[in-house]
Amino acid sequence: KPLKLHVFTLFPEMFEGVLGSSILGKAEQKELVSYHIVNFREYAQNKHSQVDDYPYGGGGGMILKPEPLFHAVEDVLGFTPHKSQKKRPRIILLCPQGEPYTQAKAEELAQEDELLFICGHYEGYDERIRTHLVTDEISIGDYVLTGGELASMVIIDSVVRLREGALGNEQSAKTDSYSTGLLEYPQYTRPADFDGMKVPDVLLSGHHANIEEWRRKESLFRTWQRRRDLLESYSLSEQEKAWIAE
């Protein structure tokens, strides 16, 4: 069953190249996913197509009004989410205040069959969007973007590649950094000696057990050096503990 993705944005043109290229584009051609981009300005009611307004109580900046987003989402769902007992699909709001995004969250979202993404652009959201429309608020990191569009594309990319058939090589999603809990080991291809920069001998040896051990040590060592925080949630085998002790 294909994964249905709907994105609500004022800048639909930002999505064309990203969703049309590479793995994300091929996934749609293979009918593993469908992309539906909605310009929610089309749901603005007044004659100026106004989607934002001044904050009550004053202060700077503009705030996205609730009506255009509620109506755009309602049109996609076929029911009024805040007036219905029906189970709604996940409706994700991209914002710096959201839950920090992780590979575990990507794996959770990849189990769904429909996802909605709401993208604001350089402005705040009326709080009723958070409290009565959205099911998940997600941040992709501790920095501020000009809008949720890039963040939604990051999430879409990481979710679509986990769907069965999206990657050519099914192995790759399972051995990535973060899926194993450790960073990836170093890899090399030909030539074995490039201007004096040599490939480690063990990789040329053809000794599979030694290669496996070298890779597991390198993964662990690299994680220890670069991301010690990841080791706290990773359960080390007895052998890995011994390697660290060395």
Give 55 or 181: the residue with its C-beta nearer to ligand ADE: 55
Give 93 or 182: the residue with its C-beta nearer to ligand ADE: 93
C-alpha–C-alpha distance, residues 162 and 152, integer Å: 16
Enumerate the known binding-site residues for S-adenosyl-L-methionine. Answer: 120, 140-145
We find the least distance from the C-beta atom of residue 148 to ligand ADE, in angstroms, to be 5
* 55 counts as catalytic: no
* 66 counts as catalytic: no
C-alpha–C-alpha distance, residues 69 and 132, integer Å: 11
C-alpha–C-alpha distance, residues 223 and 169, integer Å: 24
We find the least distance from the C-beta atom of residue 136 to ligand ADE, in angstroms, to be 12
Catalytic residue among 107, 157, 176, 184: 176
Q: With beta carbons less than 8 A apart as the criterion, state whether 48 and 56 touch.
A: no
Q: With beta carbons less than 8 A apart as the criterion, state whether 138 and 124 touch.
A: no
Catalytic residue among 2, 12, 89, 96: 96
C-alpha–C-alpha distance, residues 32 and 2, integer Å: 5
Query: Residue 128 class from Cβ within 10 Å (0-12 exposed, 13-18 middle, 19+ buried)?
Result: middle
Give 144 or 209: the residue with its C-beta nearer to ligand ADE: 144
Catalytic residue among 67, 74, 107, 123: 123
We find the least distance from the C-beta atom of residue 32 to ligand ADE, in angstroms, to be 25
* 12 counts as catalytic: no
Q: How many CB atoms lie within 10 A of CB 43?
A: 19
C-alpha–C-alpha distance, residues 200 and 9, integer Å: 49
Query: Count of residues for the chain?
Result: 246
Rounded to an integer, what is the distance from CA 10 to the centroid of its chain? Answer: 20
Residues forming contacts to ligand ADE in the complex (CB under 6 A) are 94-96, 139-141, 143-145, 148, 151
Give 155 or 182: the residue with its C-beta nearer to ligand ADE: 155
We find the least distance from the C-beta atom of residue 168 to ligand ADE, in angstroms, to be 29
* 96 counts as catalytic: yes
Active site residues: 96, 123, 161, 176
